[in-house]
Amino acid sequence: MPLRHDANLKEDTMLKEDLPIASFALPVGLRDLCIGDQGIVPGPEHALDVQVFHIRLANSAGRREAASLLIRKMYGWRGYAVDINDVHEANKITLYAETNGKVVGTLSLCLDSPAHLPADDNFGAELDALREGGARLCEPSRLAIDKGVTKRVFASLIHISYIYAHNIHGFTDYVIEVNPRHVMFYKRMLGFDDFGAERTCTRVDAPAVLLRLPLSEMGKQIRKWGGLMEQHGEERSFYPYFFPVWDEPGITARLKSGYLGKH
Q: Which of 6-10, 97-101, 116-120 has the lowest mean pLDDT?
A: 6-10
Rounded to two decimals, the pTM is 0.79
pLDDT of residue 156: 96
CATH number given to 55-255: 3.40.630.30
User: Per-residue pLDDT tens for 211-261?
Assistant: 999 999 999 999 999 999 877 677 889 999 999 999 999 999 998 874 444
> Does the pLDDT of residue 34 top 60, yes or no?
no
What gap in Å lies between CA 48 and CA 42, rounded to an integer?
Answer: 8
pLDDT of residue 186: 95
pLDDT of residue 63: 54
Helix (H, G, I), strand (E, B) or coil at 258: coil
Helix (H, G, I), strand (E, B) or coil at 207: strand
Domain spans, the chain: 55-255
pLDDT of residue 243: 96
pLDDT of residue 89: 62
Which of 8-17, 44-53, 59-68, 167-176: highest mean pLDDT?
A: 167-176
What gap in Å lies between CA 71 and CA 65, rounded to an integer?
Answer: 10
Portion of the chain with pLDDT greater than 70, in percent: 70
Query: DSSP secondary-structure letter at 238?
Result: S
What gap in Å lies between CA 59 and CA 261, rounded to an integer?
Answer: 10
Q: Which of 42-46, 101-105, 183-187, 233-237 has the lowest mean pLDDT?
A: 42-46
Q: What is the mean pLDDT of residues 114-123?
A: 94
Measured in Å, how far apart are the chain's first and last C-alpha atoms?
Answer: 36
- Select the more confidently predicted residue: 35 or 25: 25
> Does the pLDDT of residue 91 top 70, yes or no?
yes
pLDDT of residue 72: 52
| Mean per-residue pLDDT over the chain, rounded | 78
Q: Residues 6 or more apart from 222 whose CB is under 8 A from it?
A: 159, 162, 239, 242, 245
